[in-house]
Structures are given as C-alpha cells and as structure tokens.
Amino acid sequence: MATRNLYIPESVSHPGTTLEEKLQEMGMSVKEFAVRSSKPEKTVIAIIKGDSSITPEMAVAFESITKIPANFWMNRQRIYDECVARSKRQAQIISFADWAKKFPYADMVNQGWIEKKTKQVEKTAVILDFFGISSPNAWENYYMNQQLKVAFRISLATTKEPYAISAWLRKGELQASEILVKEIYTDTLLKSKLPLMKDLMRKNSSDFAKQLQVLCAECGVKLIYTPCLKKAPVSGSTRWINNIPCIQLSGRSKRYDTFWFSFFHEIGHILLHGKKEIFLEDIEYDDAQKAKEKQADKFSSDILLSEKEEKAILEGNDFSQRKLKYYADMFNTHPAIIVGRLQHLGILPFAKHMESLELFG
C-alpha cells in the first residue's frame, strides 16, 4: 500500500502573531489599525491573540495597510487552520486505539496488506487508511449497521469475527479496483463461458488460476484471489462493486475440488440472485439466505458432476484411481471432483486419493 509522504509541522503560529509584529514595526497601534482597516478593534485584538481567523475579505483589507499581499495572510491562516485540525485529528486517532486493536494487524502486515508500524497511534492510522474511513463510527455504519444497503446488504454484526472478515472484504475491494474489465456483464455472456471454465477445471494446467481470471474478465466478471486471514476463514464472496460482479476467493482449504466448488457456487449467486446482495460463504444466515446458498450449491454441484453422473459412478461401485480417472474423462470433469463428492457422501475416507485433491501441493 502506498505511503503518504506529507510534511506536517508540529506547530504553526497564528497569523495574528505576524500582524502584531508588523504593527510594532510600523509603529501603529491596534486602534489605529482597526480604524484604517474598517474593522472593530475587538476583532483585531482577537486575531492578534489567535482567537479569531483572518477572512479573505480581511486579508485584502490588510494588504492595503501592511503592504503584505493578501495571499500571504490567507495562506498563513490556511496552514494554521490545517495544523490545528491535524492536532485535533491526532487526538481522535489516539482515542480510536481500542477499536483498532480488534483487527488482526500482525496478520494483515504479514500478508502485505498494510505497513508495519510500532506505535499504536500509527497502527490505528494505518487501519483507518486501509478501510478508507475517518472513524470507527464510519466502520460500524458500513459493516455493522447496513447504512449503505445498495453496496452492502448484510451486516457482520452476527458473525464471530466481523473485524477480520471486514478486512478480508476490504482487501478484495481494493484488489477489484485494480482489475480492468472491458466487457459489460450479461447473463448470456457468462453462461457462454461456463463450458470453457469447466474445461479449464478438467485440464488443471499450472496457470489455471490466471486463465480463469481472464475468462471471467471476458464476460464482465472480476475474479479476485485474497488469502484468508487466520481469524476470517472465509472461502469466498460474491458482490457487485460499481455494477460489476466480483468473485473473491481465498483458496483456504488448499483442495482442488473445494476451490472449483466455491468458484461455481459464486457463479451461481451471480446468475441466480440479485445485484444488491453480498454473499459470504461459511457464514451463518437466516432461512431466506440459506435457501439461496442451497441454490448456489446445487448450481455448482450440477456443473461439476450432475446427479445422473454421480448415480452412474455409485452404481459402478469401483472407486479405484484408474476407474475414477475413467469416469472423470467420461463426464468431462476432474478426478478430484469425484473424490471430493464421494468423500462428502461418506463413501471414501478423507485420506483416500488425497494427491488428486491438492490445490497447492
């Protein structure tokens, strides 16, 4: 993440200090200056004490008397005001420390998502910058109180790790902003790419992940790979960002069958469900949302291995590696998909044929 290199002076004097020095240099009293500038004497005194600001109109008037350009007075006032605001902001950030400590800071640093800092105030500032927010209240409103329902339809309030999950989602959002998709999404375009996606799954080339991103981009979908955080073991997510469908996958199980099931599950959400919703896998939902999850599950299962194909394999009752490869070729799928399905059904033990399941072996 880029670092902001801003020079911020620790303290800046109020322009009233310069005005007082100039009056002394000119040998002019406050009262005389007030008369010459057509300003109340108490206003001039307040400026000199630093209790009042120099307005643009005042700066122009002061220019005629002091011969100091109006932009000098205005710049001095602007710099002073910014310094005061930053000082107040620093105090605010210090008060946000307890909130910032709830995020898996060390894990986010290890993933390269944020910069490593030593002081807590700096860590807090980094967290705020990462989320692009000004306060914990803004984070609460976005991720917990559903104030931006068009962009984010669910609340993380009922999840066990809302802070870590929100960080994972935010990273995906940042990654999505870096992906250029030239095609405008349509259901028809996405459906036309499904056979190519399944063929990519069957071939299992070494760069299948990159090829899959390209295929998705060709139908107006952004595919993002975001490693999961230790406290946010989420498999995937689907949401629409700036009217573009985005799939975010973590690959946390390291299994080939799980990766592809998760991918087509998210594709199912895009094709079957609304733009204004976000779907997070491995999260507890209400009954209505659970029904949509089941629909996406079925969509994925049918693409990877249909019920008819599954039935034929079960009736064959031969689950040797040779036979499973035969079925995979016959049904245009990958042996890992069949092994995973049989394990899910309790027919094969989870230790069986593990070499065919490894995604990053």
Please check whether residue 184 lies inside any domain of the structure.
no
pTM over 0.85: no
Please check whether residue 2 lies inside any domain of the structure.
no
Please check whether residue 276 lies inside any domain of the structure.
yes
Assess whether pLDDT exceeds 80 at residue 2: no
CATH classification at residue 42: 1.10.260.40
pLDDT in the model for residue 355: 54
**Tokens at 305, concatenated:** 């291995």
Q: Is 279 helix (H, G, I), strand (E, B) or coil?
A: strand
Domain stops at, among 67, 95, 123: 95
Which tens digit of pLDDT belongs to each residue from 258-297? 999 999 999 999 999 878 667 777 666 667 778 888 999 9
Dihedral angle sign, alpha carbons of residues 301, 304, 308, 312: negative
The reply to whether 326 and 220 lie within a common domain is yes
Using CA atoms, how far residue 310 sits from 195, 303, 304, 339, 343, in Å, is: 19, 12, 10, 11, 12
Which tens digit of pLDDT belongs to each residue from 124-136? 999 999 999 999 9
The reply to whether 83 and 152 lie within a common domain is no
The reply to whether 111 and 59 lie within a common domain is no
Domain stops at, among 177, 198, 227: 177
Residue type, 330: M
Q: How confident is the model at residue 148 (pLDDT cuts 50, 70, 90)?
A: very low
Q: Which domain holds residue 35?
A: 15-95
From the number of C-beta atoms within 10 Å of its C-beta (0-12, 13-18, 19+), residue 1 rates as: exposed
Q: Which helix (H) or strand (E) holds 86?
A: helix 70-95
Domain count, the chain: 3
Place of tokens 């999850």: 293
Q: How many residues does the chain have?
A: 361
pLDDT in the model for residue 154: 59
The reply to whether 329 and 211 lie within a common domain is yes
Distance, C-alpha 255 to centroid of its chain: 25
Which tens digit of pLDDT belongs to each residue from 88-122? 999 999 999 999 999 999 999 999 999 999 999 99
Find the distance separating the first CA and the last CA of the chain, reported in whole Å.
29
The reply to whether 217 and 243 lie within a common domain is yes
Domain stops at, among 177, 203, 220: 177
Please check whether residue 225 lies inside any domain of the structure.
yes
Which tens digit of pLDDT belongs to each residue from 231-250? 888 888 999 998 999 999 99
The reply to whether 162 and 206 lie within a common domain is no
Mean pLDDT of the chain: 89
Which tens digit of pLDDT belongs to each residue from 24-69? 999 999 999 999 999 999 999 999 999 999 999 999 999 999 999 9
pLDDT in the model for residue 174: 96
Please check whether residue 185 lies inside any domain of the structure.
no
pLDDT in the model for residue 254: 83
